[in-house]
Structure 1
Amino acid sequence: MAVINRIAGFADEMAAWRRHIHQHPELGQECHETAAYVVGRLKEFGVDEIHEGIAVSGVVAIIEGQGAGPTVGLRADMDALPIEEATGADWASTRPGKMHACGHDGHTAMLLGAARYLAETRNFAGRVALVFQPAEEVGDGAELMVKEGVLGRFGIREIYALHTMPGVPLGQFYTTRGAVMAAVDTFHVHITGKGGHGAYPHDALDPIPAALSIGQAMATIVSRNHYALDDLVVSVTMIHAGSADNVIPGTAYLGGTVRTFDKEVQAMVKRRMEEIVAGQAASFGVTARLDYEEGYPPTINDPEAAGFAVSVAEEIVGPDAVEGDGVKEMGAEDFAFFLEKVPGAYLFLGNGETAMVHHPEYDFDDRAAPVGASFLARAVERALPMGAERD
């Protein structure tokens, strides 16, 4: 892998940073210790500005290049997941019920690696804004950063990010020129009947058959209300009711997720869910309420920015190790809020044959870090070349 020699030279230090962060996971917006660790490293590197407390615990650092030019943003997420770790690694989480199961420790280490190199070399004209974001997993970190004016405040013209991906060969990249990840919505259905003895169902209004029927009917939205070649996922992932085998409960609940790329499709799903919930509740003589929560939008790469990012990745690992026209993912990512405002691209970086993200046995492969850091650093140098006239 043709990583930048200087970055390869401090690969062991990047691994140490990553493992420290891995041992001390934090959730949501409360990434204060992680942010403090990041700030400590940034001060050692000699960046020009450090701005803390953005979106509660986010950090933005500025590195000035040689000469005037626009600002390119690089983003890494810092938060972990509420999962009990099962890796058995020497650097496993020290905090019960919390672990870095999605590679955000690696993302942060890669951006720190790029920061160190860029602060040392400054082989670009303009500025780079290093965005260390909390709360990606709960979906409000990027949105809050955008609402707090990060893009305008620091003049970020374009922005790039990486995400680790198990199942993709170590150090290989893939992305798409356009929609790369889906919008994510959440639905909750609360059903109220009348509890009673399991032996006398005629004296009760059983909410469980209504819940099962609603769940089955929702499955037909994809198969019967939507064009088969378009992208849509409707998944009922939770059904809760009852506490004893001889008691009919008074209430039931089901919930799940919807993944779309199109606003019209999203609206259709919401409308059909409302019709299904109302109709099924009436047929079973119970009452039911649908709470439909729109989450973050689809992650849509700017085609030109994605093409640029692909060329940079090819420079790092070679054309055979980069897929620039990959398939869309039905997962979701709050980096979408940045891409709604400025051009940019989101790429996946192979983690090899490891456990999938959000799994208790997942761990970031430290051998990928110099590759990712080299991509981020080279993207800045290529986007802001020395001696070029830039607006």
Structure 2
Amino acid sequence: MMLTNADLVELTAFRHALHRRPEVSGEERETAATIVEALSALRPDHVITGLGGHGVAAVFAAPAPGPTVMFRAELDALPITELSGAAYASELPGRGHLCGHDGHMTILMALARLLSRRPPAKGRVVLMFQPAEEDGSGAAAVLADPRFADVAPDWAFAIHNMPGVAIGEALLAEGPANCASMGLAMTFTGRTSHASQPEAGVSPAPALAELIPALSALGQGGALGPDFRLVTITHARLGEPAFGIAPGEAHLWATLRTLGDEGMADLLASATALAGDAAARHGLSLSISHHDVFHACTNDPEATAILARALDACGIAHRPDDLPMRGSEDFGRFGAQAKAAMVFLGSGRDHPRLHNPDYDFPDDLIPIGARIFERIARDLLD
């Protein structure tokens, strides 16, 4: 079944409306309400709202038993000012759909139209509009919600658009697709003193000076193999912006990145030990918190094969080049519950990159993504 020209006009307008009103992780209330309103005309068998926060799950069920197949999109935008110049650019200062989640949602809405006209012959399709992907908390919250058990999938699929890859082409490979990552926030507390008498205080400056290169040395990147480790210092602050005060507190943030979850546990232990040792040697107290925790995203072989067949049937060339990616994706958490796979769909070789202020999702991908997802649903449920 194909989307009509009228569908494409309406879906494009829907995407532009989402684009104008971006909401960041955990704040997607208006976006979720827009999704629910649009779904109401398509008569899914069941809609769950407030899932794991502002998540929405729409279920299209067949009378005959069969597997549950989930297709996932993300609700959230980024805390970045948009500079695309589009007529439908963000109306909210400092907020922008600069990763294409508005387009991913629209692909699911296009799939909902197709399913409303021709429901699955068996089993269920679940359209998962997931909150808070960008900070890594959304998938975990959805999985922890007791109502998720009602829609727990046997199969899970996702599309992410990918600048640098031509439209009509895709990246797909079984095995590792995205790295695990974690934000490590460290606070070192000593004692301030007058800048003329630094010896009367306990400054965290020496510890900070040691730790920045030491943490970086724990993971210097390189080839994306099993031993890949990368530590990126993302923020540092020492004392107050005053010339008369020797510092008594310092903050250091680092992002840890590994190919797999086991490697992350080892890297976290090493980084924590380094920070603890530096604090102890310099007479400082230390507090550590973890943020933006992403599990590794691994494509299941069977799910990847299903995706590959769908791409072939849709005439979309695909290759395993440039995979896995250093970036992280919390879709990986669904892989613990279902046979899951993600494909990276080209959004143009020269298209602005994800998270760039001039990025905008290409509307041409809406029918392509919907066609891929519908083919998967038909292959598994017809």
2:185 to 161, 185, 188: 188
2:256 paired residue number: 258
Compute the TM-score of the two structures, normalised by the length of structure 2: 0.90
Shift of 1:76: 0.9
- Among 205, 211, 215, the alignment partner of 2:212 is 215
Alignment pair present for 1:341 and 2:337: yes
Amino acid in the other structure paired with 1:90: A
Q: Which amino acid aligns with 2:66?
A: G
1:175, 1:326 within 8 Å by CA — same for their partners in 2? Answer: no
Structure 1 vs Structure 2: percent identity of aligned residues? 32
Moved more, 294-303 or 125-134: 294-303
- Compute the displacement of 1:171 (Å): 3.3
Q: After alignment, is 65-74 or 304-313 more displaced?
A: 65-74
> Once the two structures are superposed, what CA deviation does each residue of 1:261-312 show, in whole Å capped at 9, x if it has no partner?
3344223222222332233334444443443458232111111111110111
User: Is the Cα contact below 8 Å between 2:218 and 2:229 reproduced in 1?
Assistant: no
Q: Aligned letter for 2:325?
A: E
Equivalent of 1:365 in 357, 362, 365: 362
Instruction: Give the conservation status (yes or no) of the 8 Å contact 2:54–2:131.
Output: yes
The residue type equivalent to 1:306 in the other structure is T
Letter in 2 for 1:243: P
Structure 2 contact 179–260 (Cα < 8 Å) conserved = no
Match of 2:155 among 138, 158, 161: 158
TM-score (norm 1): 0.89
Where does 1:302-341 land on structure 2 (aligned, <5 Å)?
302-318=300-316, 321-324=317-320, 326-341=322-337
Any gaps of 5 or more consecutive residues in structure 2? Answer: none
Shift of 1:60: 1.3
CA distance in 2: counterparts of 1:222 and 1:51, whole angstroms? 42
Does the CA contact (< 8 Å) of 2:19 and 2:96 recur in 1?
yes
2:92 aligned to which of 95, 111, 128: 95
> Distance in 2 between the 1:137 and 1:351 partners?
19
The Cα shift of 1:29 comes to: 2.9
User: 1:372 offset after TM fit, Å?
Assistant: 0.7
Judged with a 3 Å threshold, the aligned counterparts in structure 2 of structure 1 residues 342 and 7 are, in CA distance, closer, same or farther, namely farther
* Deviation of 1:244 (Å): 2.7
1:246 CA displacement: 5.2
Contact (CA 8 Å) 1:62, 1:128: kept in 2 or not?
Answer: yes
Contact 1:58/1:132 (<8 A) preserved: yes
Q: Distance in 2 between matches of 1:300 and 1:195?
A: 47
* SS of residue paired to 1:74: strand
Mapping of 1:261-300 within 5 angstroms?
261-292=259-290, 295-300=293-298
CA contact (8 A) 1:182 1:297 kept: yes
**Corresponding residue for 1:388?**
none
Q: Equivalent residue of 1:70, what SS?
A: strand
Aligned-partner Cα distance in 2 for 1:27–1:248: 38
Q: Aligned partner of 2:335: which letter?
A: L
Distance 1:307 1:7, change over 3 A: farther
Maintained 8 Å contact 1:7/1:370: no
* 134-143 vs 188-197, greater mean Cα deviation: 188-197
Once residues 322 and 306 of structure 2 are traced to their aligned partners in structure 1, the CA distance between those partners, rounded to angstroms, is: 15
Secondary structure, aligned partner of 1:51: strand
Q: How many residues align?
A: 379
Q: Any idea what the Cα deviations from partners look like across 1:134-178, whole Å, max 9, x if unmatched?
A: 111222221121122455312522111111111121232112201
- Quote the offset at 1:66 in angstroms: 7.1
Counterpart of 1:122 in structure 2 is 119
Residue 335 of structure 1 aligns to which amino acid in structure 2? Answer: F
Q: What are structure 1's unaligned runs of at least 5 residues?
A: 386-391
1:255 deviates by: 0.7
State the one-letter code of the partner of 1:307. Answer: A
Q: Distance in 1 between matches of 2:42 and 2:352?
A: 33
Are 2:173 and 1:176 aligned?
yes
* From 349, 354, 357, the counterpart of 2:351: 354
For residues 96 and 78 of structure 1, do their structure 2 counterparts lie closer, same or farther at Cα, with a shift above 3 Å needed? same
Counterpart Cα distance in 2 of 1:302 and 1:98: 34
Question: Which letter does structure 2 place at the counterpart of 1:91?
Answer: Y
Structure 1 pair 150–355 and aligned structure 2 pair: CA distance change class (3 A): farther
SS at match of 1:126: strand
Structure 1 equivalent of residue 39 of structure 2: 42
Q: Which has the higher strand share?
A: 2
Task: Write the distance in 1 (CA, Å) between the matches of 2:257 and 2:332.
Answer: 14
In 2, Cα distance between equivalents of 1:78 and 1:219: 33
Which whole-Å CA distance do the structure 1 matches of 2:285 and 2:269 have between them? 18
Structure 1 CA distance for aligned equivalents of residues 254 and 92 of structure 2: 28
Task: Tell me if the contact between 1:172 and 1:317 (Cα under 8 Å) persists in the aligned partners.
Answer: no
Q: Which stretch has the larger CA shift, 133-142 or 281-290?
A: 281-290
Cα distance in structure 1, aligned partners of 2:372 and 2:13: 20
Please give the alpha-carbon distance, in whole angstroms, between the structure 1 residues aligned to 2:302 and 2:226.
26
Tell me the C-alpha RMSD between the 2 structures: 2.5
Letter in structure 2 aligned against 1:31: E
